[in-house]
Amino acid sequence: MLYQTKAIELKNGASAVFRSPSTEDSAPMIHYMKTCYSQTPYLLHYPDDFTKTPEQEAEYLKRVLDSEYNLMIVCEIDGEIAGNCQLSFHNKPKTRHRADVSIALIQKYWGLGIGTAMFEEMFRIAKEHGIEQLELEVVEGNERAIGLYQKFGFVRTGTRPNAIHLRDGSCLQEFFMVKAL
Is the Cα dihedral 104, 107, 111, 112 positive or negative? negative
How many whole angstroms from its chain centre is CA 15? 20
pLDDT single digits (tens) 140-158? 999 999 999 999 999 999 9
**pLDDT for residue 130:** 96
Looking at residue 45, what is its pLDDT?
93
pTM, whole model, 2 decimals?
0.93
Q: Residue 75 and residue 79: Cα distance in Å, rounded?
A: 10
User: Distance between CA 134 and CA 8 in Å, rounded?
Assistant: 23
Burial (0-12, 13-18, 19+ Cβ within 10 Å), 82: buried
Q: Map residue 150 onto helix, strand or coil.
A: helix
- How high is the pLDDT of residue 51? 93
26 SS3 class: helix
pLDDT averaged per 10 residues, the chain (length 181)? 96 96 97 95 92 96 96 97 98 96 96 95 97 98 94 97 95 97 96
Bridge partner list, 80: 77
Domains in the chain, ordered, with CATH?
Answer: 6-135 (3.40.630.30)
Rounded to whole angstroms, the Cα distance separating 181 from 168 reads 39
Sign of CA dihedral 162, 36, 87, 111: positive
